[in-house]
A = this chain, B = another copy of it.
Amino acid sequence: MQVKKPLILVTNDDGITAPGIRNLIRIMNTFGEVYVVAPDSPQSGMGHAITINDTLFCNKITISKDEPQQEYSCSGTPVDCVKIAVNEILKRKPDLCVSGINHGSNASINVIYSGTMSAAVEAGTQGIPSIGFSLLDYSLEADFSPAEKFIKQITRQCLQNGLPKGVVLNVNIPKGKINGIKVCRQANGYWKEDFDKRTSPLGKDYYWLTGEFVNKDNGEDTDIWALEQGYISIVPAQFDLTAHHAIKDINSWNLK
């Protein structure tokens, strides 16, 4: 009996030619039939944005003639890519969606700004088991090789076990030597901004957004802690944002 190969959708937010996604495609080719639908340009920080007031282009392209995957380059956001892949390109619902490998961390609160993770979350809302992978190295020359065996292990386990309903995985990978894998909660942190104010040649003020991540969480069960100890962090993330513990509080308000 021949076992049917899993159908795997690969996307990212750094753009279809970024080294991170090229490595992820190569790894996914060892697991199944791979379709790539990814942005034609960098889309970092796009969060869960979708294109509702503009057209979308999505073109079949060949980047690596010697590799077996099908590839499409899309003018939209990472979330657009997942929507168009599932509805227009793939012949059936994929068995897995992987997003990344992002060049840079998506640990802690970064998950809500991240195009990489938003693509994974979008696939999750459509009932597709989904994983976002990020490496803590912004460089285009980042070394993805120490991560490879761990990405394979997580992918294999996800294909074997599936994921709990309404849950996607946020996987962050430390730079350099990797000590193992920890399943974590998202650390409590935020971005403290520091806008760089400048004046244009025509005398008009403008700003560049810059900032610094602040970790307010000393817990040893968080993604930030695991990464600092050289572990890969896996945070199971949900898109039901309901703060169930707060319903009772708000119900005690005078709302009559």
Mark A residues whose CB is within 8 Å of B.
42, 44-53, 55-58, 77, 79-80, 83-84, 86-88, 109, 111-113, 118, 121, 125-127, 153-154, 157, 161, 163-164, 166-167, 169-170, 180-181, 183-186, 188, 190-191, 193-195, 197, 204-209, 211, 234-247, 249-251, 253-256
Q: Complex formed: what's the CA distance from A243 to B124 in Å?
A: 13
| Closest Cβ–Cβ distance, residue A154 to chain B (whole Å) | 7
A49–B49 contact, CB under 8 A?
Answer: yes
B194–A87 contact, CB under 8 A?
Answer: yes
Given A164-B243, A240-B186, A255-B157: A50 and B209 interface contact (C-beta under 8 Å):
yes
Given A79-B47, A88-B195: A183 and B250 interface contact (C-beta under 8 Å):
yes
Q: Which 9 interchain pairs have the tightest Cβ spacing? A: A47-B48, A236-B246, A238-B243, A47-B47, A237-B241, A236-B243, A185-B242, A157-B253, A49-B49
Q: Complex formed: what's the CA distance from A254 to B157 in Å?
A: 7
Classify the secondary structure of A's interface with B.
mixed
A243 contact set on B, CB distance < 8 A: 164, 166-167, 236-238
A55 contact set on B, CB distance < 8 A: 206-208
Q: Complex formed: what's the CA distance from A238 to B242 in Å?
A: 6
A154 contact set on B, CB distance < 8 A: 255
A169 contact set on B, CB distance < 8 A: 250
B87–A51 contact, CB under 8 A?
Answer: no
Given A83-B209, A88-B207: A241 and B186 interface contact (C-beta under 8 Å):
yes
A58 contact set on B, CB distance < 8 A: 205, 207
B164–A209 contact, CB under 8 A?
Answer: no
A42 contact set on B, CB distance < 8 A: 53
